[in-house]
């Protein structure tokens, strides 16, 4: 997206710590000079309890009309028939690429996770004695995620395709297509079995740059990378389609600490920075990223990172820093 009209953003704070971290992210965005028109949606467990619907068809239609979605976190209601709101949004908006950057002392990598198929295909049966989940891998799905990953790897160093093709036929197709795309695009690439990747992420994370992988492997490896970085609370993500996007911190709704004012807002702030980049406001995005780096360097952090500050204190410090810098 480009142009300077004010972007319209569907705001889905959600449940648990979602509203707290989104409030913080919006305050920091404003201090960084970012302008958006936020259109709030009450979506999630709270709504489900009141009305029996967590996300309606009308919501979906309205959301599709806006530029993108900024999402906090949603608690999954205790109902076996219920489908996760986040998964529905990913599918309905065809957000096939989940981009998760991890940058810290020991690592600087991006996990590019296929977001619509694999073991999240939804093709499942469950009976008393047997349950099945179809691991769907398609040429089209593999090609488009490989293309997104190659776009990123072209600006960086290399691509590593993470798979389990020694066991899974579905991953033979995934690997083959990823290699074809990387070759065609002239992107330096290698590949690794997912178990080896899980090990190497811990023992030599500096060996990775851009990783591309299937849905569940990407889910697991991204929590691992967040652990290496020090906290899930630090990490951001972009769920991208061809012209739609949803930005969300990778942490969940953390009901145990909701309302206590101690949630780490950095994942949400970084997700908002990724959103501004996508919306064609790289300078706002950079200012937000720089402020976050400053907070981390000076120890202005919440308790998950060993700091002693509340969500509000971190937010105010960041906002003040950004306001000072603009004078």
Give min distance, CB of 32 to Mg ion, in A. 28
Judged by beta carbon, residue 237 or residue 315, the one nearer ligand IPM is: 237
Judged by beta carbon, residue 20 or residue 219, the one nearer ligand IPM is: 219
Total residues at the site for Mg ion (CB under 5 A)? 1
Q: Which does 200 bind (CB under 5 to 8 A by kind): Mg ion, ligand IPM, none?
A: none
Judged by beta carbon, residue 234 or residue 317, the one nearer ligand IPM is: 234
Query: Is there a contact between 21 and 252 (Cβ–Cβ < 8 Å)?
Result: no
Q: What is the rounded CA–CA span in Å between residue 14 and residue 20?
A: 10
Stretch that binds ligand IPM, among 13-21, 84-92, 169-177, 299-307 (CB under 6 A): 84-92
Q: Which does 86 bind (CB under 5 to 8 A by kind): ligand IPM, Mg ion, none?
A: ligand IPM
> 3-state SS string over the chain?
CCCCCCCEEEEEEECCCHHHHHHHHHHHHHHCCCCCEEEECCCCHHHHHHHCCCCCHHHHHHHHCCCEEEEEECCCCCCCCCCCHHHHHHHHCCCCEEEEEEECCCCEEEEEEECCCECCCCCEEECCCCEEECCECCHHHHHHHHHHHHHHHHHCCCEEEEECCCCCHHHHHHHHHHHHHHHHHCCCEEEEEHHHHHHHHHHCHHHCCEEEECHHHHHHHHHHHHHHHCCHHHCEEEEECCCCEEEEECCCCCCCCCCCCCCCCHHHHHHHHHHHHHCCCHHHHHHHHHHHHHHHHCCCCCHHHCCCCCHHHHHHHHHHHHHHHCC
The site string for ligand IPM over 248-267 (x = CB under 6 A, - otherwise) reads --x-----------------
Active-site residue numbers? 120, 164, 195, 219, 223
Q: Which does 121 bind (CB under 5 to 8 A by kind): Mg ion, ligand IPM, none?
A: none
Stretch that binds Mg ion, among 84-92, 95-103, 216-224, 300-308 (CB under 5 A): 216-224
Q: Is 207 among the residues that bind ligand IPM (CB under 6 A)? A: no
Q: Is 219 among the residues that bind Mg ion (CB under 5 A)? A: yes
Q: Is 173 among the residues that bind ligand IPM (CB under 6 A)? A: no
Q: Which does 171 bind (CB under 5 to 8 A by kind): Mg ion, ligand IPM, none?
A: none
Q: Which does 93 bind (CB under 5 to 8 A by kind): Mg ion, ligand IPM, none?
A: none
Q: Binding to ligand IPM (CB under 6 A): which residues in 87-116? A: 87
Q: What is the rounded CA–CA span in Å between residue 117 and residue 84?
A: 15
The site string for Mg ion over 222-261 (x = CB under 5 A, - otherwise) reads ----------------------------------------
Stretch that binds ligand IPM, among 13-21, 62-70, 81-89, 161-169 (CB under 6 A): 81-89
Q: At what angle do helices 194-203 and 215-229 cross, to 10 degrees?
A: 10
**In the complex, which residues of this chain contact ligand IPM (CB under 6 A)?**
84, 86-87, 219, 250
**In the complex, which residues of this chain contact Mg ion (CB under 5 A)?**
219
């Amino acid at each position: 997206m480009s142009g300077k009209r004010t972007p319209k953003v569907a705001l889905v704070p959600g449940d648990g710590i979602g509203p707290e971290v989104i409030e913080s992210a919006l305050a920091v965005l404003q201090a960084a000079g970012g302008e958006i028109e936020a259109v709030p949606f009450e979506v999630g467990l709270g709504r489900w309890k009141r009305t029996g619907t967590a996300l309606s068809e009308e919501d979906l239609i309205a959301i599709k009309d806006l530029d993108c979605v900024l999402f906090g976190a949603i608690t999954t209601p205790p109902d076996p028939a219920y489908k996760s709101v986040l998964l529905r949004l990913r599918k309905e908006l065809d957000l096939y690429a989940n981009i998760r950057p991890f940058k810290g002392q020991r690592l600087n990598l991006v996990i590019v996770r296929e977001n619509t198929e694999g073991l999240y295909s939804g093709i499942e049966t469950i009976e008393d004695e047997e349950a099945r989940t179809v691991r769907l891998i398609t040429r089209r799905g593999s090609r488009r995620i490989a293309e997104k990953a190659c776009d990123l790897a072209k600006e960086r160093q290399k691509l590593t395709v993470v798979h389990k093709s020694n066991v899974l036929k579905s991953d033979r197709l995934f690997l083959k297509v990823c290699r074809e795309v990387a070759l065609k695009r002239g992107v330096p690439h290698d590949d690794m079995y997912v178990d080896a990747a899980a090990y190497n992420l811990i023992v030599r994370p500096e060996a990775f740059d851009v990783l591309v992988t299937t849905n569940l492997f990407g889910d697991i490896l991204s929590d691992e990378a967040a652990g290496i970085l020090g906290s899930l609370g630090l990490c951001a993500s972009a769920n991208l389609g061809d012209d739609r996007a949803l930005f969300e911190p990778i942490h969940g709704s953390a009901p145990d600490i909701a309302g206590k004012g101690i949630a780490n807002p950095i994942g949400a702030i970084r997700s908002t920075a990724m959103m501004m980049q996508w919306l064609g406001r790289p300078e706002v995005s950079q200012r937000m990223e720089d402020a976050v780096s400053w907070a981390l360097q000076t120890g202005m952090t919440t308790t998950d990172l060993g700091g002693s500050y509340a969500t509000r204190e971190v937010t105010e410090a960041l906002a003040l820093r950004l306001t000072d810098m603009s004078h």
